[in-house]
């Protein structure tokens, strides 16, 4: 593209120079010849003034000197009496005898013939001439200067065209390098602005596209990890429940089936939440997803009492009866509560306490244990941050779920550890 820009600029400059130089060359030629004709005429008239009335009687004439060309005086018989010129009068001299000024180009010369009169009678003719070759020499010198100026102008045009081509193509080359880097997997590469409006608009559109693609790819990458993290615990609970029912004699199979059905419903809710979060634009929580807070905590207690008891740990749920009936985003709250309880089970210690309280226009759901948090609070919700064998997905996922539901998850105490989920009222 750079060479193409230079070629276009050179063609435009060449056309402009030709359109300017050709008429100017014609003007130079016409001007030089007109000036020389005027000079010849003035020389002839200056000499005619010096011819006295006694010229017809044979009185000699003193003609002015000329540095170039010829200057002579002819009598009425058209004979050269003084000065230089053809011995026999030419056509211009013969025509001037009729009493009029004659200008003529004859045989490579510029000729001016001026009649000399006495008492309204022509007594002689002054003839002045100069060679057209000397005029052409000056014309050619002027044309050479004009050609030199055109070449200088063309050189300047080449320099400016190359600079402008670099200015125009450098941002496009940089954009091409950025695109190749993105194609090789560097999704952090962004096109820089250059001050050229059209190219900057392309760069901004490119960056917007890359940002959008990065967002979509990030959701796709996180989907597998989120699904694995969220489905592992309920699937394990469902499997253990069914295996226990089959292995224990006298177990009420209907009760076991109902528990398995409840576990499968919770699993379905988990899948729905993970799929919703995997979307490019998570949709806000609808009214149909709202459920009483007390019902959610009751179901969570049933799910987590057994696993925690196997670890020798207790779980306690504290809530004001007035808050038990307050509707909250059901499936989202369920998922966040499971993540916080699983996090307390894996990384905390002692009794886990779940408290539901009302704060103005919101509900606060606290999940606390008797452990101590050693991680930096700013990096706590970053994906991959962990203090144990986990992959550091849970808290990051919980924060994303809370944000998608219009809630907010935060660490409110380090020792003993407590996380607080602020939930909006959905009624």
Interval 25-33 mean pLDDT: 94
Amino acid 24: pLDDT: 94
Instruction: Choose among 142, 136, 115: nearest CA to 28.
Output: 142
pLDDT higher than threshold 80 for residue 259: no
Percent helix, strand, coil in the chain (nearest 5)? 55, 20, 25
Mean per-residue pLDDT for 17-41?
Answer: 93
For residues 111-129, average pLDDT: 90
The secondary element (H helix, E strand) that includes residue 103 is strand 102-106
Residues 6+ apart with CB under 8 A from 425: 326, 327, 328, 361, 362, 363
What average pLDDT is seen over the chain?
82
Task: Tell me which CATH code domain 2-149 carries.
Answer: 3.30.450.20
Contact 75, 88 (CB under 8 A): no
User: Which has more pLDDT, 243 or 399?
Assistant: 399
pLDDT for res 220 = 63
Confidence of residue 283 (pLDDT cuts 50, 70, 90): very low
Count Cβ neighbours within 10 Å for each residue of 307-346 and write b for 16 or more, e otherwise. bbeeeebebebebeeebeebbbbbbbbbbbbbbbbbbbbe
Q: Taking a C-beta distance cutoff of 8 angstroms, is the pair 313, 352 a contact?
A: yes
Q: Which of 48-62, 112-126, 312-326, 338-352 has the lowest mean pLDDT?
A: 48-62
Report yes or no: 306 and 245 within 8 Å, Cβ to Cβ. Answer: no
- Rounded Cα–Cα distance for residues 191 and 248 (Å): 65
The answer to pTM > 0.75 is: no
Does residue 61 contact residue 109 with C-beta atoms inside 8 Å?
no
* Cα–Cα distance for residue pair 160/416, rounded to 1 Å: 72
Please list the alpha-helical segments (H only) found in 114-196. 132-183
**Domain 285-424 belongs to what topology?**
Heat Shock Protein 90 (3.30.565)
Phi, psi of 66 (to 5 degrees): -120, 140
CB 59 within 8 A of CB 118: no
CB neighbours (10 Å) of residue 361? Answer: 7
Q: Is the pLDDT of residue 101 over 80?
A: yes
Give the pLDDT band of residue 3 (cuts 50, 70, 90): confident
State the span(s) of the chain assigned CATH 3.30.450.20: 2-149
At 248, is the secondary structure helix, strand, or coil?
Answer: coil
Q: Are 346 and 388 spatial neighbours (Cβ–Cβ below 8 Å)?
A: yes
Measured CA to CA, the distance from residue 284 to residue 299 in angstroms comes to 24
For 93, counting Cβ atoms within 10 Å of its Cβ (0-12 exposed, 13-18 middle, 19+ buried), the class is buried
Among 3-12, 28-37, 196-205, 281-290, the least confident range: 281-290
- Would you place residue 81 in the very low, low, confident or very high pLDDT band (cuts 50, 70, 90)? confident
Answer yes or no: is pLDDT of 267 > 70: no
The CATH 3.30.565.10 portion of the chain extends over 285-424
Q: Which of 73-82, 363-372, 395-404 has the lowest mean pLDDT?
A: 395-404
What is the pLDDT at residue 285? 43
């Amino acid at each position: 593209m750079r060479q193409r820009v230079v070629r276009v600029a050179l063609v435009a400059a060449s056309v402009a120079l030709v359109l300017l130089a050709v008429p100017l060359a014609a003007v130079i030629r016409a001007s030089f010849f007109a000036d020389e004709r005027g000079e010849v005429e003035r020389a002839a008239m200056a000499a005619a003034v010096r011819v006295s009335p006694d010229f017809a009687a044979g009185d000699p004439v003193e003609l002015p000197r000329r540095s170039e060309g010829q200057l002579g005086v002819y009598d009425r018989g058209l004979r050269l009496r003084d000065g230089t010129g053809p011995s026999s009068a030419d056509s211009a001299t013969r025509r001037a005898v009729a009493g009029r000024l004659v200008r003529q180009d004859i045989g490579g010369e510029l000729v001016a013939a001026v009649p000399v009169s006495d008492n309204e009678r022509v007594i002689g003719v002054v003839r002045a001439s100069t060679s057209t070759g000397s005029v052409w020499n000056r014309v050619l010198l002027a044309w050479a200067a004009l050609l030199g100026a055109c070449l200088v102008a063309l050189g300047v045009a080449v320099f400016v065209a190359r600079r402008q081509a670099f200015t125009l193509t450098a941002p496009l080359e940089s954009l091409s390098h950025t695109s190749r880097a993105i194609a090789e997997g560097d999704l952090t590469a962004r096109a820089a602005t250059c001050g050229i409006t059209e190219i900057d608009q392309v760069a901004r559109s490119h960056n917007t596209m890359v940002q959008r693609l990065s967002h979509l790819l990030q959701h796709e990458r996180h989907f597998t990890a989120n699904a694995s993290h969220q489905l592992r615990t309920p699937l394990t609970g469902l499997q253990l429940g069914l295996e226990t029912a089959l292995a224990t004699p006298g177990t009420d199979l209907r009760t076991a089936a109902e528990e398995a059905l409840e576990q499968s419903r919770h699993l379905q809710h988990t899948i729905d939440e993970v799929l919703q979060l995997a979307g490019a634009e998570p949709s806000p929580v609808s009214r149909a997803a709202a459920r009483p807070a007390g019902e959610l905590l009751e179901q969570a207690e049933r799910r987590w009492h057994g696993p925690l008891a196997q670890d020798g740990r207790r779980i306690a749920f504290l809530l004001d009866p007035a808050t038990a009936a307050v509707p909250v985003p059901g499936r989202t709250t369920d998922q966040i509560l499971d993540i916080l309880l699983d996090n307390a089970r894996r990384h905390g210690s002692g009794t886990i306490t779940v408290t539901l309280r009302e704060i103005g226009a919101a509900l606060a759901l606290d999940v606390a244990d008797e452990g101590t948090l050693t991680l930096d609070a700013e990096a706590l919700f970053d994906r991959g941050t962990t203090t144990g064998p986990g992959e550091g997905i849970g808290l990051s996922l919980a924060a994303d779920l809370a944000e998608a539901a219009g809630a907010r998850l935060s660490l409110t105490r380090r020792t003993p550890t407590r996380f607080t989920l602020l939930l909006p009222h959905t009624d």
